[in-house]
């Protein structure tokens, strides 16, 4: 039995008219769209075909809406199971937010360029702050952890401003005075 014959028989068995069918199709499409499905209309059609095929085959259903949305949930579960088993390419393996639409390698190059433009002392401070013990670093510099955090914020803010305005790399825009 082909798809059109199956669907026509199921619609006749369910006593649907064309307007009700269209409304149901839209609702199923919205169900898949709200759950992040890549092709919600295709999944809605798949749901209707699967459910209607079972109805034509003799399945008894008391509440057609509940039955259809149950079939839709099963299709969604199957799709997620298949997607989970697929392996991601190496580029996407470390899912992270994209900055300026750059991939991970381009972001690393941009960070290196930005850090190379900072004063040596600021570069050392940033590396020690993000990769070391922050309390120990504050104690070494004889300042409070909050003062250290503010200093790092100012360095990063200056770097962010340079990214927005790449032509202005004269120093880092911070006062030369060191926090004691």
Say how many CA atoms lie within 13 Å of 74 toward its Cβ.
11
Q: What is the pLDDT of residues 13-55, one digit of tens each?
A: 556 667 777 788 888 888 888 888 878 888 888 888 888 888 7
Strand partners, 102: 99
Q: What is the pLDDT of residues 116-166, one digit of tens each?
A: 778 888 888 888 888 888 888 889 989 998 999 999 989 888 877 776 776
Q: What is the pLDDT of residue 160?
A: 77
Contact between residue 99 and residue 71 where contact means Cβ atoms under 8 Å apart: no
pLDDT at 170 over 80: no
pLDDT at 1 over 60: no
Q: What is the pLDDT of residue 175?
A: 45
Contact between residue 153 and residue 172 where contact means Cβ atoms under 8 Å apart: no
Angle, helices 40-56 vs 3-14, to 10°: value is 70
- How many other C-beta atoms lie within 10 A of the C-beta of residue 179? 12
User: In the chain, what are the domain boundaries?
Assistant: 3-85, 93-180
């Amino acid at each position: 039995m082909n798809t059109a014959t199956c669907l026509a028989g199921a619609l006749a068995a369910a006593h649907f008219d064309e307007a009700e069918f269209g409304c149901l199709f839209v609702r199923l499409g919205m169900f898949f769209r709200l759950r992040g499905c890549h092709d919600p209309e295709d999944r809605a059609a798949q749901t209707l075909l699967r459910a209607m095929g079972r109805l034509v085959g003799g399945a008894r259903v008391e509440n057609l809406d509940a039955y259809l949305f149950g079939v839709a949930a099963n299709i969604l579960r199957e799709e997620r199971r298949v997607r989970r088993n697929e392996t991601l390419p190496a580029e996407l393996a470390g899912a992270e937010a994209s900055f300026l639409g750059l991939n991970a390698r381009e972001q690393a190059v941009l960070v290196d360029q930005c850090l190379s433009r900072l004063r040596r002392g600021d570069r050392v401070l940033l590396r020690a702050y993000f990769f070391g013990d922050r309390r120990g670093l504050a104690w070494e510099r004889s300042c409070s952890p909050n003062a250290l955090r503010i200093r790092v914020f100012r360095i990063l803010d200056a770097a962010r401003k340079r990214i927005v305005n790449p032509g202005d790399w004269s120093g880092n825009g911070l006062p030369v005075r060191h926090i004691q």
